[in-house]
């Protein structure tokens, strides 16, 4: 076992940290309050190579490993989880999906722009009646020979209005159930494609979440990803890697809140001493630190599995399950350590507590992660 990062990984981690402090921290409270999308920041992250980190440079990416991506997600999420989810969806769902399963033409036409950050993408699986039960797709893509006709509604789509390219999962052969599902590339502005109003959210309020409505949208056949009927497998394979990104986001939120709470506990005085000298506070910090370190090893192990070509279904699910739980518990305790100051926006930890919750819900709820883990451990 080697727990040492390479020089390159250390440099990337430092670059992400510097960027988060210099570019994401300023204005973060206002963006959260106003639900403002961080357009300028996303553009700069594209220039730094953060939007297509694992994509081959041949297609405009940075050609880095999954661990470098995870380190970046962790550092960005310590400061701004709204920005990091934009990075995560673009990298691990959209770019990964296209690079792994797209045709050469699709990579030339879409991946290059997505990986360089020129445009951003969205991944559209969830529907009003198909969340955890993703096989119950009601959106249809009817085969009309040289094109599909797309009808239906997608819910909760991250980058819903800011994306230019959407990977949409839809049912083509209803009688075949999940084996009749396809993944289609849909462009913003295609006739019949409407974007619903922005959701007013508890957390990650800087990211834009919308429903999408498709009314007889004509999609050329060449925009189907993979063979006919590959759509459900495409979604599951892509989400398995996506979970590692969200696990890293959860880890970053937890670590960010912990660092703030630790520093505060060494400054704030009560009963004639710094509150860190009260054992009740010191023990909270000890628990937080231990849990974060445990979450970190699960997240890095999942990234390592992916880089080694090992199966990462179970390690990704365990990393997301545990890191999201740690994010929730750590941020609640961070608010407690800040006392009254924890309850107001200026000290950041209340936002982190709100942001943490989503990591237990999207890209598979914690209950769904337990289904993935238990199925995997019981099959042998």
Ligand X SMILES: Cc1cc2nc3c(=O)[nH]c(=O)nc-3n(C[C@H](O)[C@H](O)[C@H](O)COP(=O)(O)OP(=O)(O)OC[C@H]3O[C@@H](n4cnc5c(N)ncnc54)[C@H](O)[C@@H]3O)c2cc1C
Rounded distance, CA 187 to CA 170, Å? 15
Closest contact distance (angstroms) between CB of 119 and ligand X is 16
Q: How many residues of this chain bind ligand X (CB under 6 A)?
A: 21
The residues, ordered by sequence, that sit 6+ positions from 96 with a Cβ below 8 Å of its Cβ are: 54, 238, 241, 242
Residue nearest ligand X, Cβ-based? 131
The neighbour count for residue 24, using CB atoms within 10 Å, is 26
Residue 158 sits in the site that holds ligand X (CB under 6 A): yes
Taking CB under 6 A as the criterion, the residue among 37, 110, 123, 234 binding ligand X is: 123
Nearest residue (CB) to ligand X, 80 versus 363? 363
DSSP string across 235-254: HHHHHHHHHHHHHHHHHHHH
Residue 82 sits in the site that holds ligand X (CB under 6 A): no
Closest contact distance (angstroms) between CB of 239 and ligand X is 9
List binders of ligand X among 262-291 (CB under 6 A). none
Q: What angle do CA 316, 318, 320 make, to 5 degrees?
A: 70
Binding segment (CB under 6 A) for ligand X, from list 139-147, 248-256, 287-295, 364-372: 364-372
SS3 111: helix
The residues, ordered by sequence, that sit 6+ positions from 357 with a Cβ below 8 Å of its Cβ are: 202, 203, 328
Rounded distance, CA 178 to CA 272, Å? 65
Binding-site string for ligand X from residue 309 to residue 348, where x marks contact by CB under 6 A and - marks none: ----------------------------------------
Catalytic residue among 222, 346, 363, 367: 363
Q: Hey, which residues does 218 pair with through a beta bridge?
A: 149
Is 363 part of the annotated catalytic residue set?
A: yes
Residue 131 sits in the site that holds ligand X (CB under 6 A): yes
Residue 132 sits in the site that holds ligand X (CB under 6 A): yes
- Between the alpha carbon of residue 102 and those of residues 185, 211, 222, 234, 278, the distances in Å are 10, 25, 10, 10, 57
Closest contact distance (angstroms) between CB of 256 and ligand X is 19
Binding site for ligand X (CB under 6 A): 89, 122-126, 131-132, 156-158, 201, 204, 209, 358, 361-363, 365, 367-368
What amino acid positions are annotated as catalytic residues? Answer: 363
């Amino acid at each position: 076992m080697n727990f040492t990062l390479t020089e390159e990984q250390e440099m990337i981690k430092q670059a992400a940290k510097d960027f988060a402090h210099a570019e994401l921290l300023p204005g973060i409270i206002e963006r959260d309050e106003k639900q403002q999308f961080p357009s300028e920041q996303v553009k700069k992250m594209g220039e730094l190579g953060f939007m297509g980190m694992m994509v081959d440079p041949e297609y405009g990416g940075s050609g880095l490993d999954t661990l470098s991506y995870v380190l970046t997600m962790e550092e960005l999420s310590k400061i701004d989880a709204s920005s990091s989810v934009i990075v995560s969806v673009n990298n691990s769902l959209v770019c990964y999906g296209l690079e792994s399963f797209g045709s050469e033409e699709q990579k030339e036409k879409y991946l290059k722009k997505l990986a360089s950050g020129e445009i951003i993408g969205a991944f559209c699986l969830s529907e009003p009646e198909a969340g955890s039960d993703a096989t119950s797709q009601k959106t249809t893509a009817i085969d009309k020979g040289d094109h599909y006709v797309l009808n239906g509604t997608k819910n909760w789509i991250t980058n819903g209005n800011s994306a230019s390219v959407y990977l949409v999962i839809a049912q083509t052969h209803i009688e075949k159930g999940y084996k009749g599902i396809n993944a289609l590339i849909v462009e913003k502005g295609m006739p019949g494609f409407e974007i619903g109003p922005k959701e007013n959210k508890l957390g990650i309020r800087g990211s834009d979440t919308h429903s999408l409505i498709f009314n007889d949208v004509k999609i050329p056949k060449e925009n189907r990803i993979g063979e006919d009927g590959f759509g459900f497998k495409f979604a599951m394979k892509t989400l398995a890697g996506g979970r590692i990104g969200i696990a890293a986001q959860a880890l970053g939120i937890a670590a960010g809140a912990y660092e703030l709470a630790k520093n505060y506990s060494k400054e704030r005085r009560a009963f004639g001493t710094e509150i860190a000298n009260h054992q009740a506070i010191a023990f909270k910090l000890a628990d937080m630190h231990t849990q974060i370190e445990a979450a970190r090893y699960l997240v890095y192990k999942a990234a390592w599995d992916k880089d080694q070509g090992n199966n990462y279904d179970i390690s990704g699910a365990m990393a997301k399950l545990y890191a999201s739980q740690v994010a929730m518990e750590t941020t609640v305790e961070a608010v407690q350590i800040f006392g009254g100051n924890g309850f107001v926006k200026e000290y950041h930890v209340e936002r982190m507590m709100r942001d943490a919750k989503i990591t237990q819900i999207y890209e598979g709820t914690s209950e769904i992660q337990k289904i993935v883990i238990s199925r995997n451990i019981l099959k042998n």
